[in-house]
Amino acid sequence: MATLKAVRGTRDLLPPETALWNRIEAAARRVFARYNFGEIRTPIFEDTGLFARGVGEETDIVSKEMFTWEDRARAASEKPQSLTLRPENTAGVVRAYIEHKLGESGQLQKLYYIGPQFRRERPQKGRYRQFWQIGAEVIGPPSSGSESPLRDAEVLEMLATLLDEMGIAGWTLELNSVGSAADRARYNDTLRAALAPVVGKMCVDCQRRAVTNPLRVLDCKVPEDQPIIATLPVIADSLDDDSKNHFAAVKAALDAAGVTYHLNPRLVRGLDYYTRTTFEFTHGGLGAQNAILGGGRYDGLSEAIGGPKAPGIGFAMGLDRLVLTLQAAEADQSSAPPTVAKLDAYVAPLGEGLNAAALQLARELRRAGLSVELGDGSFRLKKSFEAADRTARKIVILGEDELASGILTVKDFATGTQTKVPRGELAEILKS
């Protein structure tokens, strides 16, 4: 029978690598707490319409990359429904914001999430069909200050801090403004006019987008189209004074905080909900998939999915890519494989008749806060010592004599010394 494997573009994350994932997630949770963010967990699948309306029909994500299925009605009371595995989490967070009327508190909502997302992309290094994001959104009614450029600058400053605390060095912040909805409409007209004489030479996707949503022509990856794209007008020239002033204030606050950035007038991002500030952090060590995170402002998203006015800004970082970046940095620093932290103790019962007593001893030690591996009485002593030396700093031997006397034999692998320890003092001795 053919063996079953993880589906293309998905993978298993195994220890010890998962320890690195946990470290990154813990650093994120720590930083989010300092900046007053609370965690939100939204469902992994949503009504397809949420992404079509939120992310945009003409985006690559919605038009090509979603895992969508028709969910049949199971009872007369249910209707069939088109469902989609979430390709990103911003639309889900804004849906939850609307559904739970979070705006009615009048307060700015600062929400973060950590979880898997799904896109049917062509898998390659750093690009998977199931991948993880750590993201955050700052959203609220305009009266909560949600439109303020200070919010944009604070999010970007937090990201610089977060990447530093995760140990990611050498990132670049690419920054742009895509303006208000009105600016974008003007820019789309400008693009349409600029594309008219040349679009016949471009790919079929671009020919369609030039009519439906010209901005999305800028996402085209077809190499032959790039020289034409390089000649198209930039969005900065279509911004009105309000948008220019907003962007200037974001940059001034970043300058004051000492966060360096690189202006990239071609950064429009592949999701339709963006307005004004857009950004990506890139890292040279990642090859083609060099964006470790992306985000921006989405002042009209709530209205686009039927909610009240609720300007917001947020980002999502690719956890898979953060891990790759840190692994590459570690590999540069030393050729030795990363050392795995050893457990406090290994309990070795001498004979199967002592297994139950060994479980009881291990329970005592674990309850005292120690990390303990439990051997098996069927192992010969040599095998127990080898297994213990691989996993733990010390071995505790439990034979009939030890059980009867309450005096246990402990060997410390680092010093090679063997000592007799009364059971009542064992946890303390193992801790030291």
Closest listed residue to residue 274, CA positions, set 212, 210, 215, 234? 215
Distance CA 70, CA 67 (A): 11
Q: What is the DSSP letter of 64?
A: H
| Count of residues near ligand HAM by CB under 6 A | 27
Q: What is the DSSP letter of 249?
A: H
Site string for ligand HAM, 277-316 (x = CB under 6 A): --------------xxxxxx-x---------------xxx
Can you read off the two tokens belonging to residue 79? 């209707």
Cβ(307)–Cβ(334) below 8 Å? no
- Residue nearest ligand HAM by beta-carbon distance: 318
H or E, element range at 182:
helix 181-195
> Does residue 140 interact with ligand HAM by CB under 6 A?
no
Q: What is the DSSP letter of 5?
A: -
> Does residue 83 interact with ligand HAM by CB under 6 A?
no
* Locus of tokens 């127990």: 384
User: Which amino acid would we find at residue 366?
Assistant: R
Cβ at position 57, least distance to ligand HAM in Å: 16
Q: In what order do the strands lie in the sheet with 81-85?
A: 45-47, 81-85, 68-71
Site string for ligand HAM, 99-138 (x = CB under 6 A): --------------------x-x----xxx--x-x-x-x-
> Does residue 86 interact with ligand HAM by CB under 6 A?
no
Cβ at position 287, least distance to ligand HAM in Å: 12
Choose between 201 and 221: whose C-beta lies nearer to ligand HAM: 221
Distance CA 9, CA 19 (A): 22
Choose between 213 and 384: whose C-beta lies nearer to ligand HAM: 213
> Does residue 198 interact with ligand HAM by CB under 6 A?
no
Q: Which of 60, 152, 299, 320 binds ligand HAM (CB under 6 A)?
A: 320
Cβ at position 49, least distance to ligand HAM in Å: 17
Q: Which stretch binds ligand HAM (CB under 6 A): 18-26, 40-48, 83-91, 369-377?
A: 83-91
Q: Which of 92, 103, 149, 318 binds ligand HAM (CB under 6 A)?
A: 318
Choose between 117 and 243: whose C-beta lies nearer to ligand HAM: 117
Distance CA 121, CA 173 (A): 25
Q: Which stretch binds ligand HAM (CB under 6 A): 88-96, 328-336, 340-348, 377-385?
A: 88-96
Query: In sequence order, which residues have a C-beta less than 8 Å from that of residue 53 and are 6 or more positions away?
Result: 304, 305
User: Which amino acid would we find at residue 12?
Assistant: D
Q: Which of 321, 342, 394, 411 binds ligand HAM (CB under 6 A)?
A: 321
